[in-house]
A and B are shown apart, each in its own frame.
Chain A
Amino acid sequence: MSTRYFGQPIKRNEDPRLLVGQATFTDDVHLPGMLHAAFVRSNYAHATIKQIDTQAARAMPGVVAIFTAEDLGDYWKPGPLLVPPPPVKHLVFNPRMQVPLAKHKICHAGEAFAVVLAETRYQAEDAAEQVFLEVEMLPAVVDIETALAPEAPLIHAGLAQNLNAHVVQEKGDYARARRQADVVIERKFYYDRGTAAAMENRGIVVNWDRRDQELTIWDTTQAPIAIRNGLAAMLGLSEQQVRVIAPFIGGGFGPKIMMFYPEEVVLPWAAIKLNRPIKWIEDRQENFYATTQERGQVHSAEIALTRKGKVLGIKDLFIHDAGAYAPYGLTVALNSQCTLLGQYDVPNYYSEFHSVFTNKPIVTPYRGAGRQHGVFVMERLLDVAARELGIDRVEIRKRNLITPNKFPYNNEIIYQDFAPLVYDSGNYLPALERAAAMIDYDRFLREEQPRLRAEGKRVGLGIVTYVEGTGIGPYEGARVTVEASGRVSVATGIGTQGQGHYTSFAQIVAEQLGVDVRNVRVVTGDTAQFYWGAGTFASRGAVVAGNAVHAAAVAVRNKILKFASEELDADESELELVDGSVRIADAPLRSIRLGELAQRANPLRGAVKPGTEPGLEATDYFGPERGATASGVHAMIVEVDPETMMIEIKRYVVVHDCGSVINPMILEGQIHGGVAQGIGNAFYEQLVFDPNGQLMNASFMDYLLPTSDTVPHIETDHVETPSPLNPLGIKGAGEAGAIPVGPLFAQALEDALNIPGLEIREIPLSPSRLYELVSQLEP
C-alpha cells in the first residue's frame, strides 16, 4: 500500500523558512534607488476640503514629490464596485466607492488626501507633517441607529439619505407563523466594531522597469490576480506588463482583499511618473484608520415558537454599518442575513436590513464577515426562548436542528454568491452531542455547578452552534508539473497569508502522484506563475483552489499512467505511483522514476507523435456550483469574579465539521486562531469612536488584542460530512473558529453570574460593561 498524504497531520513545508526568518515579506524587498511614501491623512472624520497646502512640505529635506488628487488628473477615479448586488426583488442599492486621494470631501478620519515621496520614510513623515489641510468641518455620522434620521448630516453627494442599501428577503410567511405561535419573543441586539489587526500591516513595493516596460508590484493582497488586471486597465498597460507578487503575508483575515486600497492605486502611478521604485509600509497607527474594519450592526429580532420549543419563524430587522464607502457591496450584511438561521429548520423567515453610510473607516469582510451577527441573534433568541419555556438549552437546539435526511436543505433566500442558500450536507446532532459530552454538560450542570455555587464561585457553561457558508465560486486554477529532477511544482493564483497552502496543496498532489510532500513545491500569489484566479477569501482556498490542484494533479497522474504504460509496456491498470516512481504493481522492479519519465516526455531531439504535449504537466480549473456549508459547535466553561467581573476560561471545546480534512494539524491551527480572534471580539476588542468620528483607541495600548494568557487551551474534535459539491469533499475552515464566540460568551457569562433578569444582548463585552449591566438590574 502506498503512503497516504491526504488527511495526515503533516508538518508544514513552509515552516523552516518562516521560523528562521528567511521568508520574503513585502517589507523585505529592497530595491536600489527606492523612494519611501508617507500618506497624509485627515484628522477630521467629515469635512469639505477647501485647500491643500503642500508648499512648505515640498521644501523639506529629501522630498522628491508630493501628489494630491489634482495631480492624478484623469487617473483619479473612485474604485470599482467589487461585488454587485444579488438578484433580490425591490432591492435598493446606492454604491459609493473609495477614491485614490480625497478631492472634495473627507468622509472618515484617516482618509488620505496627499502622498509624500521622499528618500527615507523619516523624511517623508517629516514632510507629511508640513502638508496643511484647510477644511470646512461637518458634523459626523457615527451612530448607525440615527444615520438615516432626517436631521442626519449627508455624507455622499447625490443621496438624499445615508442609505447604502435596503434589502428584504423572505422564506415562507412569517406573519402567519407569528399568529400560530404559542410564544413570541422580541429582543434588540448590538454588535460593535473591531479590526482584524493582522500581525503584518499592509505594504506595497512598486518597481517600474522603463527598459522592459514592466511593472512589478509586491503587495500584501489576498487577490494578486485581480490587482494585476485592475492596475493594467487603470494604467493602460497590457496585463502581461504587470506582475503582482503577493509574497508571504502575515495574516489577511479579509481586509487584505479590499480592492483597491488608495495606496495600491496611487503608488504604481507615482512609480511610473517618477521612474523610481517606491515602498510604502503601513504602520500600526495607519492600520487603525486606513485598513478596512467590520462588525457594527443593530438587530431588532423576533422568534415565534410553539410551547414545545419548535421554532415557527424568525423576523429580523437590522441596520448595518457600511462605513464611509461600500466597495464590497452587500457581502457582509447578506452573510448576516443568510447565516442567522444556522443549523435550524426554520420554516418562516423575514429579514430586512438597511446598510448605512457613516463617517468611519470602510467596512469589508473580516473573518466571519457578518456571520457572527446572525449567529449571535439566533443563538441568543434560542437561549431566551429556552429560559422562558423552561426547556434545557441543548434540548431546544436539538428540537430544531435540520435532520440529515433533509439535505440538500434549501433556505430559499439568496446568498452572497447570488445562488439560493442551499446547504449541501450536514450532520448536526452528532456534533452537538459530542461537544456536550466533551464539556460534560449534564454532570457539570447537575453536580459541578451547584457545588461551585455553594462555595461562592460563579462558574458557567455555554454551548452554541453555527454554520458557515464556505468555498464559494467563481473558480480557481492550478498547474502541476513534474520536473526532470523528480520534484513537482504547483502554481495557483490565490494568495496565501499563513493558511498552510504550501503544505495542504502539496498533500493533495502527493496523494495523486505518490511523491514525498517535501518534494512538492507550491507557488501561490505570483501572477507571473499563474495567470487566472479570484483570490483567497470566504474560506475558499482549500475548497476551490484545492480542488483545482486536485484536478490538475489527476490530469498529470493520467498522463504519467498513459506514458508509463507505453514505456513499461504494461496496461495502465497494472501501474501504481509510489515513492516518486511509477511501477508495475505486481513487478515493482519494473519501474521508472517520475523525473526520468518527465525527461523522456520532453525530448530534445527526434520526433513526437502528432498531438503530444511536452512534459508531465497539466493545468486545470475548478468552479463549484455553489458554496459548501461547514458547521460546528463551541462550548466553554468560564469563571467570573462577581466583584470585579474579571473572567477566566476554564475549558474551551470545539467540534467542527468541514467535510474531508486535508491536514488535521493545519485545521486545528485555523480553529485556534479563529477562536483567539473570537475571544478578542467577544471580550477585549472594540473600536471606540467619539461623536466626532474620532477613533479613541488607535493603538495596541488601548485596543486590547487577546494575548497568550487570555486564550485558553482549546480541545477539538471533528465530525466529517463530506461535501457532495467537490471531488475532495472538503468545506472551508478559515473562519469557523471566530464565528460563534460572541453568543458563547453571552450564554456562559449569564450562566456563571446567575442573576435573575440578566440578559446579555451585546458584543463586545468587558468587565466594566458587565458590571454596568448587572448594576442596572438592581433597583
Chain B
Amino acid sequence: MKPAPFRYVAPTTINDAVRQIAEFGYDAKILAGGQSLIPTMNFRLAQPQVLIDLNGVGELAFLETSPAGGLRIGAMTRQRTIERSALVAKNAPLLHATMPHIAHVQIRNRGTVGGSLAHADPAAELPAVMVALAARFKLRSVRGERWVPADQFYLDLFTTALEPDELIFEIEVPPPPPRTGWSIQELARRRGDYALVGLAATVQLDETGRCSNARLIYLSVGAGPTPAPAAAAMLLGKTPDAALTLEAARAAAHQDIEPMADIHATAAYRRQLVAVLGQRALREAFARAKESS
C-alpha cells in the first residue's frame, strides 16, 4: 500500500496554484487535507503524476461573514475549524451541526471543506448540506473565476462541474431566511463511518405557519446529493403536522429516491431509512422553524 511515484509541487499563492494546475492538467491532482486522496493513492486507485499541494496557499484558508450576513469559506478551511467556529454556529447552524457526523476528529483536523466538496463522494455530508443551504462555489482557473450554485455542481458519481484546470476557491453560504428550520439526520454503522443514509433538510414557514419552502437533500442514496422534490412539493402551502411529515417522508422513500444495495445495506433497508430519517428530519426542522417564528 505505497503510492506510485509522483512529483510534488507546493505553490504558495493562488496564482501559482492555478498556473500549475493548468500546466499539468489531467496528470495532476490537488492535495488538500489528503484524507480521501492519499488512501486512494496508497491503494493505487489514483496514480497522479503530479501532486499540487494547496496547504501552503494561505489565501485559500479563511472564514468570515459574507456581505449578505452568511458565510464566506475558503476552500482550504479545515473541517475542524468549521466545527469549532461560533460564527458558523450563528450564521449557518445546519453546517455547524453537521460537522461531528463527518469522520473522526483526527480526520477533520486535516480534512478541508473544499476537499470534501470537490471529492464529491455520494456519502459525504458537506455536498448535501451545501445544496440544502443553497450555497454557491467560486471556481478559479488561469482563465478567471466563475460561480456555480451547489445544486448545479454535482453532475454524477465523483463527478463535478470543475474543469480540469479549475479549483474551488470559495464557498458562499447565504444567511438563513426568517422562520426557517433545519435538520441533519444520518445513520452510520459506527460513529465516524460514512452514513448508510442521511439527509440535510431546510424548511421555511410563511407568516401563517404554512410551509413556503422545503429542501430535503439525501446522501448515500444516489450518485451525489439527491433531492426529494415530490416530498418537498407535498409540503408546500400546508401547515406541517405529524401526518404531513409522515406522508412527505413516505413520498421521499417511494417516489423520489431509488436507493441501491451494497454490502452494508439492502435497497429495501435504505428505503426504510429514507422514510424514517426523512420524518425525523422534517419533525425537527419544522419545530425549529416554529421556534424561530
Contacts and interface: CB of A to CB of B under 8 A. Distances in A.
B191 A767 contact: no
Nearest to A642: B276
Interface in A622-659: 643-646
Interface of B is mostly: loop
Contact of A772 (B193, B194, B264, B266): B266
B188 to A, nearest CB: 9
A300 B1 CA distance: 42
A285 interface: yes
A434 B187 CA distance: 37
A318 B39 CA distance: 41
A559 interface: no
A377 to B, nearest CB: 26
A702 B263 contact: yes
Contacts of B161: none
Interface residue range, chain B = 20 to 34
A697 B193 CA distance: 14
Interface in A205-242: none
A707 B191 contact: yes
A77 interface: no
Nearest to A708: B191
A646 B187 contact: yes
Interface in A504-536: none
A709 B276 CA distance: 23
Contacts of B260: none
A646 B191 CA distance: 12
Contacts of B265: 767-768
Contacts of A121: 2
A599 B70 CA distance: 82
Given A704-B190, A710-B190, A768 B1 contact: no
A688 interface: yes
A694 B166 CA distance: 37
Contacts of B193: 704
A145 interface: no
Interface in A701-717: 701-702, 704, 706-707, 709-710
Interface in B1-29: 1-5
B74 to A, nearest CB: 28
Contact of B263 (A645, A688, A707, A771): A688
A22 interface: no
A772 B187 CA distance: 17
Contacts of A122: 2-3, 5
A285 B3 CA distance: 13
B65 interface: no
A620 interface: no
A125 B4 CA distance: 8
Interface string A752-776: 0000000000000011100110010
A126 B272 contact: no
B189 interface: yes
B43 interface: yes
A129 interface: yes
Contacts of B263: 688, 696-697, 702
A706 B189 CA distance: 10
Contacts of A284: 1
A709 B104 CA distance: 12
A283 interface: yes
Measured as residues with beta carbon below 8 angstroms from the partner, the interface class of chain A is 20 to 34
Interface in B178-197: 187, 189-194, 196
B233 interface: no
A640 to B, nearest CB: 13
A767 B43 CA distance: 29
A261 interface: no
Interface string A268-283: 0000000000000001
B269 A704 contact: no
A709 B272 contact: no
A129 B4 contact: yes
A766 B189 contact: yes
B89 interface: no
B276 A126 contact: no
A44 interface: no
A690 to B, nearest CB: 9
A684 interface: yes
Given A767-B269, A768-B264, A283 B1 contact: yes
B266 A768 contact: yes
B269 A643 contact: no
A767 B190 CA distance: 11
Nearest to B192: A707
Nearest to A698: B43
B268 interface: yes
Contacts of B190: 684, 704, 706-707, 709-710
Interface SS of chain A: helix, strand, loop or mixed?
loop
A768 B269 CA distance: 6
A284 B187 CA distance: 27
A160 to B, nearest CB: 34
A766 B1 contact: no
B90 interface: no
A712 B268 CA distance: 30
A185 B193 CA distance: 41
B44 interface: yes
A506 B255 CA distance: 68
Given A129-B4, A285-B43, A766 B191 contact: no
Nearest to A686: B263
Interface string B264-289: 11101100110010000000000000
A766 B262 CA distance: 13
B138 to A, nearest CB: 31
Contact of A771 (B3, B5, B194, B272): B272
Contacts of A766: 189, 264
A702 B1 contact: no
Interface in A53-70: none
A125 B276 contact: no
Contact of A702 (B44, B187, B264, B272): B264
B268 A771 contact: yes
B154 to A, nearest CB: 22
Interface in A275-317: 283-285
Contacts of B273: 644
B2 A767 contact: no
B189 A767 contact: yes
Contacts of A643: 272, 276
A771 B2 contact: no
Contacts of A129: 4, 44
B88 to A, nearest CB: 25
User: Most chain-B Cβ atoms within 10 A of its Cβ — which of A285, A706, A707?
Assistant: A707
B132 to A, nearest CB: 21
A126 B189 contact: no
B4 A772 contact: no
Contacts of B192: 707
A644 B2 contact: no
B44 A684 contact: no
Nearest to B189: A704
A696 B2 CA distance: 21
Nearest to A702: B263
A767 B196 CA distance: 10
B187 A644 contact: yes
Interface string A464-485: 0000000000000000000000
Nearest to A696: B263
Nearest to A704: B189
Nearest to A706: B190
A709 B3 CA distance: 32
A259 to B, nearest CB: 26
Contact of A125 (B2, B187, B272): B2
A109 to B, nearest CB: 15
A-B residue pairs, 6 tightest by C-beta? A768-B269, A768-B265, A283-B1, A643-B276, A771-B269, A688-B263
8 contacts: A125-B1, A125-B2, A283-B1, A704-B190, A766-B189, A771-B266, A771-B269, A772-B266
Given A122-B3, A125-B2, 7 more contacts: A644-B187, A709-B191, A767-B187, A767-B196, A767-B265, A771-B268, A771-B272
